[in-house]
A and B are shown apart, each in its own frame.
Chain A
């Protein structure tokens, strides 16, 4: 009888942990910014300033001339927080979506949004989108440089105006440069362990202004 009580208490404690742990995680991260990407611009500004010969380049130039793989995952992306064992129980499935970077009206831009799939999800989410260009330096190698960020706060799922975040960057010249979009979706008041997703890189006839 005693051992049955103990087992019951143990089960109750475990059950409580299951419900408390995600709630605690929500409280801890609800107002925190999305995790930084490897190509966080703040890290690059000092490097750019130190190499006047750095340039924005196409995907092919980055590969052939600098030996950089523009299709590889960012190194820090693999070190996002470890997945908790509880995520499967939340029962919320959604898509993060970003279109290919493109040029219109003399500007490069990308759209990012979210789509509800199934389960018990918050009605809204905050979508953060980075527009990045491929920057290379003979001294420092290549990196994805974030030129613009846009945040759509508390938006309902779906595409179109009022739903998506759209960072823009003006084209200084029509030189061919590699671009990509990177998107991060935070369902409102809902913690999840996932990080940024990087879209398919594209060459565009658009070179951004010199960031230095």
Chain B
């Protein structure tokens, strides 16, 4: 039995044959070899809009393209929404269901003219090109989308 085996050694998970003595090499991040696999909208709690006397809350909606290696590229198309309470409910409650929040997020993202009700694919494609991702609007059109809500938002909406 070789000396190193007799002494014991650190080993990788899984296939023992995967063990190697050469240091791992990180590959360069080559966007040209990656494909776009989805649209991700990340929603997070933001500081309330300043200078208003009414109870208020703010939510940011940051849009990303997910790539085939699971990395995400942020598009320069950040959105958000402010909500102000009126009436006399004390303390104010922001309670809503996750389905309601997701539906509202999509309504806002999909809401712009001249084509309300559909994602702005040409603008996504243009924003992606500015980030070095070569993709056209037609290729994006059939991609799945996902809305992620942060833990802070989940607590605020009392899911």
Contact = CB atoms under 8 A, between A and B. Distances in A.
Given A93-B87, A159-B104, A72 B51 contact: yes
Given A72-B50, A74-B51, A102-B79, A197 B112 contact: no
Contacts of B83: 95-97, 115
Interface in A160-204: 160-161, 164, 166, 168, 183, 185, 192, 194, 197-200, 202
A99 B80 contact: yes
A202 B78 CA distance: 10
A104 B118 CA distance: 13
Interface in A59-78: 71-74, 77-78
Candidate in A74, A90, A197 with the most chain B CB atoms within 10 angstroms: A197
A197 B84 contact: yes
A73 B86 contact: no
Interface residues on B, range: 20 to 34
Nearest to A89: B88
Given A109-B112, A200-B58, A94 B87 contact: yes
Size class of the contact patch on chain A: 35 or more
A79 to B, nearest CB: 12
Given A159-B111, A197-B52, A198-B51, A104 B123 contact: yes
Given A71-B51, A198-B49, A99 B56 contact: no
B101 to A, nearest CB: 11
A117 B111 contact: no
23 contacts: A73-B52, A73-B53, A74-B51, A78-B53, A87-B87, A90-B87, A91-B88, A93-B89, A94-B87, A95-B83, A99-B80, A99-B108, A100-B82, A102-B79, A102-B112, A104-B112, A104-B120, A105-B113, A118-B87, A160-B111, A185-B86, A197-B49, A200-B58
Given A99-B81, A100-B81, 14 more contacts: A72-B51, A73-B51, A74-B51, A95-B85, A96-B83, A96-B86, A99-B108, A100-B78, A105-B114, A117-B87, A159-B104, A166-B111, A197-B52, A200-B50
Interface of B: 46, 49-54, 56, 58, 60, 77-89, 104, 107-108, 111-114, 116-117, 120, 123
